[in-house]
Structure 1
Amino acid sequence: MVSKIISALLLIACLFFISSTNAINLPGNYTLPKDSSDNLCFIARFDLVLNVEYVKSDGKKNISIIPLNNETFQFYDGTYALTKTHTLTITMLDNLTTITLEFFLNEKNQTSLTRVYGSVTVDNNTKYFPNSSIHARGPRPFVANESLFNADRAHSYRCNTRTKIDNFKTDGNGNVTIKSIDIENLRIQPFVDNMSTFHDYGVEEVCTMDRFTSSNLIPIIVGVCLAVLVIVVLVAYLIGRRRNRNGYQSV
């Protein structure tokens, strides 16, 4: 009996070891070059969700929500040698989907995300596109021009609030549409000075929504609203009490 229990435990341990070695772990930071931890050109971390609308075999439309996580992530790479352009490319779903973020350094020495492009392959064999129409299947390229995450060079950009990118042009003939790419919990710094050892992100430039939510403005607004509400109730009570008194006097 004991030997059977030990054998079962060993079997479970082996299965766990095999599954853990085959699992793909999402990187905590996306760094370029990938094989360096000291002299970096690019570093970022963020959460991402890809929202794809596709036509099903019955003619109805469905939204596929594809999060960037350990199940969907395959690998990442990018370009950083060009002086004015850096790219980060993330590959997902067994190499069926790629998303590229392209950053530009302008003449004022400011960085920004200027273009998002890639390709999504609608495959009926994946759980993300069940019952997809035959007309929707296959690789569908997409692109959107943007001006986001603006910061001075040597500074980093932070935005925990969700940023929705939704003006994509999709080559799907109406059968596939990229509804949006949602990015949140973002900290990013392209065009890092790789001539010096990297220690940490540069000075933060924080997005407007993060500044709004982290400030004391919301508690102040709530307090003012409560104070106004109390005053309105008190005034209404005094007016009602005065009318009642006048009614008694007339009697």
Structure 2
Amino acid sequence: MSRALRAAALAAAALLGWLAVAHAVSFEVKDGNSTCIKAELSASFFIMYSTSNGTNTVNVQLPSSAVVDSGSSCGSSGVSPELLASFGDGHSLGLVFSKDDRLYRVLNLSLTYNLNDSTYFPQSSKKEIVTLDTNATGISAQLNTTYRCLSSSSIRLGGSNVTITFSGVRMEAYMPSANLSSKESVCSADLHATTVAPTQSPTTAPTPPAPRNPERGNYNVTNVNGTVCLLANMGLQLNVTYFSKSQNKTVKGIVNLQPNRTSFTGLCEATTATLVLMDGLTNLSFAFMLNVTSKKYHLSALNVSAAWPDMTAPFTVGNSSLNYLQGTLGRSYMCTTEQILPVTNTFSLNTFSLQVQPFGVTGNKFGTAEECQMDKDNMLIPIIVGAALAGLVLIVLIAYLIGRKRSHAGYQTI
């Protein structure tokens, strides 16, 4: 397998994010002396936004300084109880609750963010406050129980490029007392999680074997008019260096992206195109740029955020100074050989059986494929070997014929 791209590792990488310490933030909504909503949770917001040069993505962590906003309420007749947590310069997370005779649920989940805040949104081309929400939260629990979901789970805000990832959640609405109920309604992710008892101490735990080549996924981005503007078929493998809880040291994790549980979205503009892949624990974004003069495009940025169970902190890194996957407008870039794309010193991405076209897609089909150099080299090697073998056979044949002619010449007729 070719490793030529290893030598192309960047000497320096631009960091488009920050590594935040995972923490649960506590909130309490009261009506006088009575508590109606109590929550302990960690949340991060994966947001794509427009810049003067195209698009950028950030992963904003809900800070410990977040507070219960005055818009929070225990509700009344015809009004649902709501937890509104505000932070930073005009940002807030909202959870509106409802109930029936048996269950309570998060009826609506909303996020408001201020693009004028350069701390979170550097170089934003829009200076406005955006509010997005969804009714498809999947968060529900039996009345008089605590909703518990320690596993990471992601919720995409309807039709947008914004995803909220929760973890370490313990909360209750319509509380009969000021304390969280000792009885819990556990989310399905926690029920499916399994814990394997260690057989060795963390310091001597063996390194797990690398996973097999990843399954190939099919992804696309659609314009507002319903036509496909970006196509990508590829298997993806993430190489992430992080601090391990179980081993109490820095390790290199190799994880395959699973197409069957990966959702995708993106945005196409005249000279930029973005593809975002989300599987709940991992968010991965690709940004392509088009040079209108040369009619050439390339992968200019890669960003990743991950909250794997063994991580001591969420992992967020990126690089916007890349020059990979170069192709021509109207044609696709193809590389069946494994490629290693160094992004930062703690993250690289391996691609398998890749074909991508971020611009000039017609008829929802890939254009003529332009092969990567590694595929060309792999085809050239058999040709060279074959030519060398053919030449060797020819030399042996010529030598044999010359030798035979000389042996006949050694006998004279008497």
* Fold equivalence (TM over 0.5): yes
| Structure 1 outlier segments of 4+, above 6 Å | 225-228
The match for 2:325 is: 149
- 1:208 equivalent in alignment to 2:380: no
Q: How far apart, in 1, do the equivalents of 2:263 and 2:372 lie?
A: 28
Structure 1 CA distance for aligned equivalents of residues 384 and 327 of structure 2 = 30
Q: Cα–Cα, structure 1 residues 27 and 50, in superposed 2: closer, same or farther, change >3 Å?
A: closer
1:187 to partner: Cα distance: 0.8
The answer to whether 1:30 aligns with 2:206 is: no
Matching residue of 1:90:
277
Q: Distance in 2 between matches of 1:106 and 1:152?
A: 10
- When residues 79 and 35 of structure 1 are mapped into structure 2, their CA distance, relative to the original with a 3 A threshold, is closer
Q: What letter matches 2:231 in structure 1?
A: I
Cα distance in 2 for residues equivalent to 1:79 and 1:70: 20
Specify the code of the residue in structure 1 equivalent to 2:275.
Answer: L
The answer to whether the aligner puts 1:63 opposite 2:255 as a matched pair is no
Q: Measured at CA, do residues 54 and 224 of structure 1 come closer, stay the same or move farther in structure 2, by a change above 3 Å? A: same
- After the TM superposition, which of the residue ranges 137-146 and 147-156 deviates more from structure 2? 137-146
- After superposition, the Cα gap between the structure-2 partners of 1:63 and 1:208, relative to the gap in structure 1 and judged at 3 Å, is same
Q: Give how far 1:30 is off.
A: 1.1
Decide which structure has greater helix share. Answer: 1
Residue type of the alignment partner of 1:60: K
Please give the residue correspondences for 1:208-227 in structure 2 after superposition, counting only pairs within 5 Å: 208-215=373-380, 217-221=381-385, 224=388
User: Cα 1:60–1:83, aligned 2, differ >3 Å: closer, same or farther?
Assistant: same
Change beyond 3 A, Cα 1:27–1:225? closer
CA contact (8 A) 2:341 2:349 kept: yes
**Whole-angstrom CA distance in 2 between matches of 1:74 and 1:138:** 22
Partner Cα distance (2:248, 2:389) in 1:
49
1:103 to 278, 283, 288: 288
Shift of 1:74: 2.9
User: Are 1:139 and 2:314 an aligned pair?
Assistant: yes
Unaligned runs of 5+ in 2: 1-214, 396-414
Given residue 365 of structure 2, which amino acid in structure 1 is its aligned partner? D
The CA deviation at 1:222 is 6.2
1:190 aligns to 2:358 (yes or no)? yes
Question: Aligned with 1:122: secondary structure?
Answer: coil
Change (3 A) 1:226 1:137: farther
Contact 1:86 1:191 in 2 (8 A): yes
SS for the counterpart of 1:146 is coil
Ranges in structure 1 where 5+ consecutive residues have no aligned partner: 1-25, 124-128, 130-135, 170-176, 232-251
Deviations 1:87-135 (A, max 9, x none): 001112xx22111010001132211111101211132xxxxx3xxxxxx
1:39 matched to 2:227? The reply is yes
Label 1:55 to 1:118 Cα distance change in 2 as closer, same or farther (>3 A): closer
Q: Is the 1:43–1:190 contact (alpha carbons within 8 Å) kept by the matching residues of 2?
A: yes
TM-score if structure 1 supplies the norm length? 0.61
Partner of 2:109: none
- In structure 2, how many angstroms separate the alpha carbons of the residues matched to 1:153 and 1:211? 20
Q: What are the within-5 Å matches in structure 2 for residues 119-130 of structure 1?
A: 119-123=305-309, 129=310
Given the superposition, is the C-alpha separation of residues 60 and 140 from structure 1 closer, same or farther in structure 2, using an over 3 Å criterion?
closer
Total equivalences in the alignment: 180
Partner of 1:243: none
RMSD over equivalenced CA pairs, Å = 3.2
AA in 2 matched with 1:48: L
Structure 2 partner of 1:23: none
